Amino acid sequence: MSVQRPDDRETLLAMSAYLVFLMPLIFIPDSRFAMFHANQGLLLLGVALFCHLLWLVPRFGWLLVFLSWPLLVALAIRGIIAAARGECKPLPGVGKLELLK
């Protein structure tokens, strides 16, 4: 995705999208850069919820949940770093999906 270099406010809100994906949607819905990162944050939340549902599967599900959380944290950190650099890099695996327009 090609966008112009974001200003500090856009960068900060894009970084916050990995913790609370609604922040860019509320404060700067017209920024393509922030919306890209809000989409990535929403995708990450969806993956986290799916992983959390695995908790219902005894033993094997618990192991998968235990192993998935460090990966989810690493993906969130990767997204925050990309937002801080002003880049629009999709997250590995699910990042190419587009839930928000």
What pLDDT sits at residue 98?
Answer: 77
- Output the average pLDDT for the chain: 86
Residue 52: both structure tokens together: 């959390």
What pLDDT sits at residue 1?
Answer: 52
What pLDDT sits at residue 25?
Answer: 87
What pLDDT sits at residue 53?
Answer: 85
Task: Kindly provide the b/e burial profile for residues 54-74, where b requires at least 16 CB atoms within 10 angstroms of the residue's own CB.
Answer: eeeeeeeeeeebeebeeeeee
What pLDDT sits at residue 60?
Answer: 79
Residues 70, 57 contacting (CB under 8 angstroms): no
Cα angle, residue 76 at apex, residues 59 and 23 outer, rounded to 5°: 120
Does position 17 have pLDDT exceeding 70, yes or no?
A: yes
Per the listing, tokens 């393509």 go with 32
Q: What is the pLDDT of residues 27-64, one digit of tens each?
A: 998 989 999 999 999 999 998 898 888 878 777 777 88
